[in-house]
A and B are shown apart, each in its own frame.
Chain A
């Protein structure tokens, strides 16, 4: 992985650099921000996160498992309580709901980890500690012949530091 890393002090400078880089189609862009900002989100215009699918599938699996285990256990060890059916779906809804939330929640976290590719063992290339404090950053992954253009664009839009990394 090789490219150019630019560090910015101002949010609007970062936004204009992203727009310029996208317009010139220099390479793949990754933006660093200490906190999520709508301005950056709009400039990047990324597709919706797939995490919602993990939540939906996890929730559906959870509620199905919850009802199934309760019905199976009741059937396996039948005990009539208050003249009610062996497998009573009404009280089992509570259990189904709890398992839905549990599996749905854990699947959401799994979705976050898979989509964001964390845990990450190394973060040497294209990262600077200042991006978790106050500065913004843009990493442009590009071929060496395009690196010069990327550097110029980053500087032109107010980058306080630009460096090549690999």
Chain B
């Protein structure tokens, strides 16, 4: 059989960034000891961490205070204006559920597709998912006049003889979100076990921490048998989580699409919501990972190649979302349905033009900049874009919820909606709650998967490896894709 030898590129030949293969490599990471040392180093508190935690707790206290005031005064202080009885709380609920989607997408779907760029960002995204779903779960309770009766929301056979109606999308929603939270947390924890074992086995560790890590690592010893079962279990969890990611936001979209309200009753909602959720989640991943890699000195783990590849995914989902927006306009026009046409005119040119303008600018126009490679490879630009994506996606949910309810079939029902300081405070409080959990997480557990990073770091060998690795396991000299990136 004939063999084909690939010509070795000349050293003088200029190298273009090759994201397809470069995202699998971490040229500045030399060995396993370096991985352990640098990633465990993120557990040391820094000034930025304390500042961040302080700001997060401040916003959380603000949100809790506003909620206390709402409980004392009644839901009237929240700015509801019948028939707009879904406002900031439901908008923010859908927003946080959406944020939670990128984590499982990155950890499960990209794992099945063997996308190399996920390796160093997936732990962060998974933790983000769990805390985002925890945040979202607060909002149905905040939306209640008597939150202490929240368990009435849980559909189970009970003494009140109000049994679950399994044909209701709200019941599907409860089960979908609970399942998503359970599976996401399980996925996060299972992936963490080998890394917790690394922390447990460190030399300079306090006895209390060692005991906690020993319990959490479940006596993990890195045996071949444990890894064999681990790899299989991880694969199946990924395979189960993949349709779950797609189903959860589809089910959330059914909360709207099953109603006859103009703007909601459309079959495009499930894919539109799923793409939007992934898009918003990618935005939040950038918001979190870019400061992390800078402040904790992890630029050689989350390289510019990883950000470039993740930006392409964000761009792709932005295009899907943009397509869904255009489809909505077309269907409103083509349907010949007067209520639908009137609603859309009001949404785009009428009462809610400003919200629509923010939405389309942030979600459709600005992400087009990611077609430019130079911008995709600029961490600063990605950080800015991540903020506009977060803002745009919150406004997407605003534009879905409020304009529809304020402009239904009967003109006498048409009204307006203005959130109050209570709504805004609770919205800020939700960001504080999310950030607080995330900051506590990154101080206790590794924010990058140690065991998985070691998989892509060349092992130490006695003999010369064929793929540019010397006997000590070091790469042959390698030029960074972006000058100064590893400096």
Contacts and interface: CB of A to CB of B under 8 A. Distances in A.
Interface of A: 9-13, 30-37, 40-41, 44, 46, 48-49, 51-52, 55, 59, 70, 73-74, 76-77, 79, 81, 84, 88, 91-92, 94-95, 97-99, 101-102, 104-106, 108-109, 111-113, 115-116, 118-123, 127, 129-134, 158
8 contacts: A9-B460, A10-B460, A35-B452, A55-B236, A77-B163, A98-B179, A116-B230, A132-B221
B227 A36 contact: yes
B459 A133 contact: no
B327 interface: no
A52 B233 CA distance: 7
Most buried by A among B163, B166, B251: B166
A95 B175 contact: yes
Contacts, number: 186
Secondary structure call for the A interface? helix
A121 B228 CA distance: 21
Most buried by B among A12, A55, A98: A98
Given A32-B223, A102-B183, 5 more contacts: A77-B163, A81-B165, A98-B172, A106-B186, A111-B229
Nearest to A120: B219
Most buried by B among A48, A92, A104: A104
Interface of B: 31-33, 36, 157, 161, 163-167, 171-172, 175-176, 178-179, 182-183, 186, 190, 193-194, 197-198, 200-201, 203, 218-233, 236-237, 240-241, 243-244, 247, 251, 451-452, 454-455, 459-463, 473
B184 to A, nearest CB: 10
A132 B175 contact: no
A42 to B, nearest CB: 11
A111 B251 CA distance: 29
Given A81-B167, A98-B175, A112-B229, A30 B223 contact: yes
Contacts of A94: 172, 176, 247, 251
Contact of B462 (A12, A73, A101): A12
A34 B454 contact: yes
Nearest to A136: B459
A116 B222 CA distance: 10
A119 B218 contact: yes
Given A36-B455, A97-B247, A31 B226 contact: no
A35 B224 contact: no
A10 B461 contact: yes
Nearest to B33: A134
A133 B32 contact: yes
B452 A98 contact: no
Contacts of A59: 240
B232 A30 contact: no
Nearest to B195: A132
Contacts of A129: 201, 203
By Cβ-Cβ distance, the 6 closest A-B pairs, closest first, are: A120-B219, A134-B32, A129-B201, A112-B233, A35-B454, A49-B232
Given A104-B240, A108-B240, A118 B219 contact: yes
B424 to A, nearest CB: 34
B219 A101 contact: no
B459 A13 contact: no
Contacts of B220: 118, 120, 132
